[in-house]
Structure 1
C-alpha cells in the first residue's frame, strides 16, 4: 500500500529540486523531515510540506502506521515556464525564464 502527494506549479526550478529530492529518497519519514528542516534551500521547505502531506494521507486515508513509513519515491519534473522580459540598452529586450516544477512524493510502509 502506498500514499502519495503532489505539489504542482512550484516556483523553484526542477533542476534545483532534484538535488534535494536525492537527499531524502529511501529515508524514513521522520528522518527525511529532519534533513529537510535543516537544509537551507527554498525547495527544502516546499518538499517538507509535500512529505508531511503524503504522510498525513497515508495515516488518515489508508490507516498506515506513521512510524513505519518511508519515502519510496520522490521526483521533481519540469512544470510550465513563465516568460518575462527585461529591458536592456539601446531598446533591446532580454528574455527571463521563470521556471516551475511539479513535485511528487510516494510513501510506503516498511515490512
Structure 2
C-alpha cells in the first residue's frame, strides 16, 4: 500500500528540486534521509521534510514498520509562478517570476524475506 505526503507551493525551482529527487528515488527512507543531510543544496531540506512526513503517515495512520519503508515514487511538479514587479527606467515595469514547486512523496513497505 502506498502512503503519500505532499508539500505544496515550496519556494524552490522544480528543475533544481528534480535533480535531488532523482537521487533518492527507490532508496530506503533512512538511507535517503542520511543522503539528503549531506547534500549542500537548499532543495534537500523541503524534500527531506516531505519524506519524513510520508514515513510518519505510514507509521501512525497505517501501522507500517518504519524500518521497511522505501520511497516508491517521488515527484516534483511545477506550481504557479510567484509574480513580482521590478521598476525599470522611463516609468516601465518588468514582471519577475519566481518558481514554486509541489513535492509528492510515496512510500511503501518492502516485503519481508522469509
Q: TM-score, normalised by structure 2?
A: 0.93
Q: For 1:21-100, what aligned pairs fall within 5 Å after superposition?
A: 21-100=21-100
Residue 33 of structure 1: SS of its match in structure 2?
helix
1:97 aligned counterpart, secondary structure: strand
* In 2: Cα distance, 1:91 partner to 1:6 partner: 42
Deviation at 1:3, TM superposition (A): 0.9
Matching residue of 1:9 = 9
Could you tell me how far 1:84 is from its partner in structure 2?
Answer: 1.1
Task: Report the Cα distance in structure 2 between the residues aligned to 1:56 and 1:72, rounded to whole angstroms.
Answer: 15
Where 1:42 maps in the other structure, the secondary structure is coil
Q: Provide, for residues 41-78 of structure 1, a one-character-per-residue CA deviation record: whole Å limited to 9, x for no partner.
A: 11100000000000000011111111100001000001
Shift of residue 40, structure 1, vs aligned partner = 1.3
Structure 1: 5+ residue stretches without partners? none
Q: How many residues align?
A: 111
How much is the aligned-residue C-alpha RMSD, in angstroms?
0.9
- The CA distance in 2 between the partners of 1:64 and 1:12, in whole Å, is 31
Residues 77-86 or 26-35, more deviating:
77-86
Residue 110 of structure 1 and its aligned partner are, at CA, apart by 0.7
